[in-house]
Copies of this chain bind each other. A is one copy, B any other.
Amino acid sequence: MIPPPATRQLSTAAERREVLVEAAVAAFAEHGFHGTPTTEIAKAAGISQAYLFRLFPTKSELYVAAVDRCYRRLGDAIREAAEDASAPGETALERMGHAYAALLQDPTTLRATLQAFAAASGEDLAIRDAVRRGYGDLIELVQRISGAEGEELREFVARGMLMTVLAGMDAPSIDAPWARELCGDKFDD
């Protein structure tokens, strides 16, 4: 009487990992590594905490996976934007800059980035290496596609970091001369 299920009921471990890491990115972005309990991540991913620890033996390893995922998404978006030819008047560097500014509008991406920088300065070497790797790959991507180097590259990346920090404290909504001066016109074009 009970019909056999047409599809598999259980997920594969790889599928679960996928969902779990995605949930981890969002959760860690919100409260940081130490501020996010594994129970919360497991609940968001729809699995038990016990299974979370089977898929990732330590919280730290899950955080590393989340950092990797986050930087991969950033890289994909920026590459995509650079190769998009719908704005033919712009250089690849300009397109990537606009794409990055757009990515910062997403609170999860923004906060994950800032949390990653803070975590990278901590003492967990696996985390620091993950951030170095992700950040380095991003820089290399920009350099390779745009051909920028030296001072031009530094200036581009520096502006990106300023935008990130300003967005993190929601500077555009601060009613003060310094905030208007720094956010300037670079936030909306």
Q: Tell yes or no: A136 within 8 A of B by CB.
A: yes
Could you say which of B110, B139, B140 contacts A121, with CB atoms under 8 Å apart?
Answer: B110
Q: Is the interface of A mostly helix, strand, loop or mixed?
A: helix
Q: Tell yes or no: A43 within 8 A of B by CB.
A: no
User: Do residues A178 and B140 form an inter-chain contact, with CB atoms below 8 A?
Assistant: yes
18 new A-B contacts, CB < 8 A, other than A136-B179, A154-B159, are A31-B34, A32-B32, A32-B118, A107-B121, A117-B168, A118-B118, A121-B168, A128-B169, A131-B169, A132-B174, A135-B169, A136-B174, A139-B178, A140-B177, A140-B178, A149-B181, A153-B181, A161-B161
- A-side residues, CB < 8 A to B, are 30-35, 107, 110-111, 114-115, 117-118, 120-123, 128, 131-132, 135-136, 139-140, 143, 149-150, 153-155, 157-159, 161-162, 164-165, 168-171, 174, 176-179, 181-182, 184, 186
